[in-house]
């Protein structure tokens, strides 16, 4: 039973993603984003639980990837689709009676799945990442409904623009499959020595969240990328 604890936590990640999808259908994007963030919480702790319990299995690895596909691939794609669809300057690109302009958002789940599959077979990504991790990408997209509406965050209503959302979609999709080297938040122990970069990043993230709430996530991911590049050098 103890050996199944990491898989049970992974299942909670998947359940959070499935519930988030249901809320995107009803247009409740803030609740969907909160459920997606809850999935990221479970995704972080299933790995910690596996290492703490010294449990490692191929099934757990596959479950983790499949859960991430839903929570951090499908959900952010649907959130971006709904944001684009509701944008006041959505262009008309009709095929028949369907406006295909917001469907570019589906590039996010497609490349997220590509990124997850690549991670599973890439031996270079055992202790670090190459390309933006799907949970990080999903946190940026999940923050947008809060930032646009000003709910529980700073308000930047000008982000509710189709072409800005399109640019973000293309940029984040590129970062998912890029060769950008990024450090991983994988703690083999909780000592300061050897974890200076991770602890510093987490501390900065907590401070930013305290000041900017959900609006801090895009800044946090930008800092994450910059720190990774500096660390690489």
The enclosing domain of 56 has a CATH number of 1.20.120
Q: Which domain holds residue 81?
A: 2-232
Q: How confident is the model at residue 70 (pLDDT cuts 50, 70, 90)?
A: very high
Q: What is the mean pLDDT of residues 56-77?
A: 89
Strand partners, 181: 130
Q: Give the residue ranges of DSSP H helices in 87-216.
A: 107-121, 134-149, 162-177, 196-212
pLDDT of amino acid 232: 72
Domain count of the fold of the chain = 1
Residue 47 has pLDDT above 80, yes or no: no
Q: Does an H or E element contain 183, and which?
A: strand 181-183
Q: What percent of the chain has pLDDT over 70?
A: 97
Least confident piece of the model among 116-125, 162-171, 202-211:
116-125
pLDDT of amino acid 163: 97
Q: What are 188-193's contacts with CB under 8 Å, separation 24+?
A: 188/51
Q: Does an H or E element contain 37, and which?
A: helix 29-52
pLDDT tens for each residue of 80-101: 999 999 999 999 999 989 999 9
Query: pTM of the full predicted structure?
Result: 0.90
DSSP SS3 for 98 = strand
CA distances from 137 to 26, 55, 91, 185, 225 (A): 23, 28, 25, 15, 12
CA distances from 111 to 62, 125, 142, 144, 147 (A): 18, 17, 17, 20, 24
CB contact set of 3 (below 8 Å; sequence gap of 6+): 53, 55, 57
Output phi, psi for 182, to 5 deg.
-135, 140
Residue 21 has pLDDT above 90, yes or no: yes
């Amino acid at each position: 039973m103890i050996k199944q604890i990491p898989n049970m936590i992974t299942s909670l990640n998947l359940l959070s993603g499935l519930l988030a999808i249901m809320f995107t259908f009803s247009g409740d994007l803030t609740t969907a984003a909160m459920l997606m963030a809850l999935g990221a919480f479970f995704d972080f702790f299933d790995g910690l639980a596996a290492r703490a319990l010294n449990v490692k299995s191929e099934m757990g690895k596959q479950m983790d990837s499949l859960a991430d596909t839903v929570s951090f691939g499908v959900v952010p794609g649907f959130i971006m689709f709904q944001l684009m669809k509701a944008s006041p300057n959505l262009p008309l690109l009709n095929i028949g009676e369907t406006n295909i302009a917001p469907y570019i958002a589906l590039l996010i789940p497609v490349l997220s799945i590509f990124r997850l599959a690549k991670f599973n077979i890439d031996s270079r990504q055992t202790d670090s990442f190459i390309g933006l991790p799907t949970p990080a990408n999903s946190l940026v997209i999940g923050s947008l409904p809060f930032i646009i509406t000003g709910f529980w965050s700073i308000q930047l209503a000008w982000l509710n623009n189709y072409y800005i959302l399109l640019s973000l979609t293309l940029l984040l999709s590129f970062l998912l499959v890029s060769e950008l080297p990024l450090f991983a938040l994988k703690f083999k122990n909780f000592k300061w020595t050897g974890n200076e970069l991770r602890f510093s990043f987490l501390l900065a993230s907590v401070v930013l969240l305290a000041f900017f709430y959900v609006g801090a996530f895009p800044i946090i991911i930008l800092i994450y990328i910059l720190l990774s590049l500096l660390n690489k050098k």
